[in-house]
Structure 1
Amino acid sequence: MKNILITGGAGFIGSNLALKLIDKGYNITILDNLSKQIHGEDPIHTSPLYQSIIGKVKFIEGTVTSRADVEAAIIDQDVIVHYAAETGTGQSMYQIEQYANVNIGGTAILLDLLANKDNNVKKIVIASSRSIYGEGKYFSEEFGDVYPKHREDSDMKSGDFEVRYPGVSQPLKLVATDEDSKIHPSSVYGITKQNQEQMIMTVCPTIGIAPVAFRYQNVYGPGQSLSNPYTGILSIFSTLIKNNKAINVFEDGKETRDFVYIDDVVDATILGIENDAANGHVFNVGTGVPTEVNTVVSELLANYGKEVPVKISGNYRLGDIRHNFADLTKIKNTLGFEPKVSFKDGIKNFAMWVNTQEVNADKYENSITEMKEKGLFK
């Protein structure tokens, strides 16, 4: 189990995982297309993520949508960590074919090759996502556990951003999503991650390969892309602050996410690679703590020691969820995983790293304009 392929391994999570695995004595191969949206216009020369791994791994520049690239990459591999994917909920709602081709099609090519070609692969770890839970899990005094549907455009237009459930007269109580929670994604991205996970968990046991799925919450930390305006509010807000631009907080700022630090994500993933108790299971990876967007803004401003205008605008994006945070009972009991980095400490580390980086041109408004034109930003 010494040879590990990481698809999408030049990305934020993949590169950090690769470096930790190298320290532990593994031989790492990476298949990555060096997407300019993530790595910039000249990735080979200017991408910090690429520079962090090159010379330490066997690097294959290619794509999971190419059968030839995938076939070359899986030779002599014992384990595959499958990260290659298009990411971001908003963009997925209008780049539908691209998300389906890469996320679903790329996974189908990988599995088809493993099912029909001789190989040494014994385990596949798939990066799933909290997005597959949609609006998450709530408790109702009248009905018990309930899973609200996507929020209505008409409600959010009037400033009502909370979720609703038919027949419930009392306010719903937000609770953590466990792995048995209802799967009902509210974006194309979420649908493709659900499909990836289900294909891996269904096909692998039939071909003698152990599957493990990790449903990551919002992963952040030093090294994440500051140039990609479609994913990661920490990067988006940081870039705005560093460019002395106003922050537009969507909805009422009370929407929450479970922010999990990159080191914790890498540690959880390695437990899945090394521990046979993980085989055949899906696990949440997060902190189990919901954090408001308003808190994110105040913590970033405090850590950068700067003031910029902050507008709670009531704008919203169709496909976004209101709340979600992870129940970690299963991964704690099965793999002994405990997140070590609090949001307060993690965001301090992240801000210190951002302060060492060149300030990027802000591409955020372009992404918002694009979403407005598609009718997805209100």
Structure 2
Amino acid sequence: MTSSLGTVLVTGGAGFIGCELSRALAPSADRWVVLDNMHPQVHASPDTRPERLAAEAELVVGDVTDATAWDELLAQVRPDVVFHLAAETGTAQSLAESNRHASVNVVGTTQMADAFTRAGHDPAHIVLTSSRAVYGEGLWRRTDGETFYPPQRTRAQLEAQQWEVEGAEHVPNAAAVSFPAPVSVYGATKLAQEHVLSAWVGARSTALSVLRLQNVYGPGQSLSNPYTGIVPLFSRIAAEGRSIPLYEDGDITRDFVFIDDVVSALVAAAATPPTGLPRTLDVGTGVRTTIRDLAETVAAMHAAPAPEVTAQFRDGDVRHAACDVAATTAALGWTPQWSMADGVRALQAWIDEQNVPAGS
């Protein structure tokens, strides 16, 4: 079947987002090749091909940090489009495993660039999945209208339960307005990915799209990965009849974006590559949700006890994260379709189908 996408390479393409993307696009690509190291933190059965990976996908087990793996792959594959999804995730984990995150996220990206140079091949378009973590605490506005960027909240502030920035409110992040200032190693490595690829394509004929994703969730998420996200975590706790613990005061906010909306944004980005400079777009719902609201929604679905505020906190966590998707809608003709309540309901139905023993 002929497709405008041609041959597609997806790094990290056997993971959550990669599998769902393959189900949407692989059948219409000339060739769909996945490079993934099948890390056991993500894959409960690393030796087993993921069930949700499209049948048309060619799975190549290899590591993006391995130059030999790249050379062997590019000797056989000349991708027209590259979805660069491979990354170590986890804000808190990145503080304890900084080298691992930097190796995969930064060195893995430079290895990819060098491999294309050695192979003498420039893809037509690279689509990078970046993260809202690059913004850090983000842009804030005082009551008098003045905007500023607060520093990272210190351990002393968090221990004193000084959660908020007094006399100001968080402004939804937008790539054209908000200056990136990551406060986690993970966020710093994702921003480095953006910088590396932007510099590399500047000397090539390759277009670059950077999509900064908010908190992605939905069917297909790893249920064994402790860093997979709070939506499946909350679902599992409530399903066990336990009260969901709320960090800080429960009023942390996030933009929870359903996997189908993320996939449709990636599809739209691939279909309409930029014609000039690299573009950076935000992918979320544009709706701010407190973790309290999320927890209460999940608890109600299971008739679980009411969530409880614990005043616990995580180093490197930001207080608020939300985005403005107007620029993304204008550039891609894309709009999010899923509400938080509908998305959580769909995720929980899928979790129930997995028959995962409680507490596992």
TM-score, with structure 2 as normaliser: 0.93
Cα distance in 2 for partners of 1:258, 1:184 equals 18
- 1:44 corresponds to 2:10: no
Cα distance in 1 for partners of 2:30, 2:135 equals 33
Q: CA deviation at 1:239?
A: 1.9
- Farther-moved stretch of structure 1 (3-12 vs 63-72): 63-72
Aligned to 2:172: 176
Aligned to 2:102: 100
Amino acid at match of 1:72: E
- Farther-moved stretch of structure 1 (77-86 vs 19-28): 19-28
Cα distance in 2 for partners of 1:7, 1:281 equals 20
Amino acid at match of 2:47: I
Cα distance in 2 for partners of 1:308, 1:213 equals 41
Name the SS for the 2:111 alignment partner: helix
1:65-104 correspondence to structure 2 within 5 Å: 65-74=65-74, 75-104=77-106
Aligned to 1:342: 339
Aligned to 1:313: 310
More helix as a share of residues: 1
Q: What is the alpha-carbon root mean square deviation over aligned residues?
A: 1.7
Amino acid at match of 1:131: A
List runs of 5+ in structure 2 lacking aligned partners. none
Cα distance in 2 for partners of 1:163, 1:202 equals 35
Q: Which runs of structure 1 show a deviation greater than 6 angstroms over 4 or more consecutive aligned residues?
A: none
Amino acid at match of 1:197: E
- Farther-moved stretch of structure 1 (236-245 vs 324-333): 236-245
> Are the counterparts in 1 of residues 172 and 322 from structure 2 also a CA contact under 8 Å?
yes
1:33-68 superposed Cα distances (whole Å, 9 cap, x missing partner): 11111111x2334x7xx1222642111011101112
Aligned to 2:16: 12
TM-score, with structure 1 as normaliser: 0.89
- 1:191 corresponds to 2:188: yes
Name the SS for the 1:206 alignment partner: coil
Aligned to 1:61: 61
How many correspondences in the alignment? 352
> Are the counterparts in 2 of residues 151 and 163 from structure 1 also a CA contact under 8 Å?
no
Cα distance in 2 for partners of 1:51, 1:44 equals 12
Amino acid at match of 1:174: H
Q: Go from structure 1 to structure 2 and tell me whether the alpha carbon gap of 1:225 and 1:360 turns closer, same or farther (over 3 Å shift).
A: farther
- Farther-moved stretch of structure 1 (190-199 vs 226-235): 226-235
Name the SS for the 2:8 alignment partner: strand
Cα distance in 2 for partners of 1:360, 1:100 equals 34
Q: Go from structure 1 to structure 2 and tell me whether the alpha carbon gap of 1:114 and 1:271 turns closer, same or farther (over 3 Å shift).
A: same
Q: Go from structure 1 to structure 2 and tell me whether the alpha carbon gap of 1:176 and 1:81 turns closer, same or farther (over 3 Å shift).
A: same
1:12-33 superposed Cα distances (whole Å, 9 cap, x missing partner): 1011011111243442100111
1:241-265 superposed Cα distances (whole Å, 9 cap, x missing partner): 2333442211011000001111110
Aligned to 1:218: 215
- Identity percentage of aligned residues: 34
Aligned to 1:370: none
Aligned to 1:366: none
Amino acid at match of 2:147: D
List runs of 5+ in structure 1 lacking aligned partners. 165-170, 364-378
Q: Go from structure 1 to structure 2 and tell me whether the alpha carbon gap of 1:321 and 1:278 turns closer, same or farther (over 3 Å shift).
A: farther
Amino acid at match of 1:59: L
Amino acid at match of 1:65: T
1:116-164 superposed Cα distances (whole Å, 9 cap, x missing partner): 3222511111111000000112112346221111112222212221135
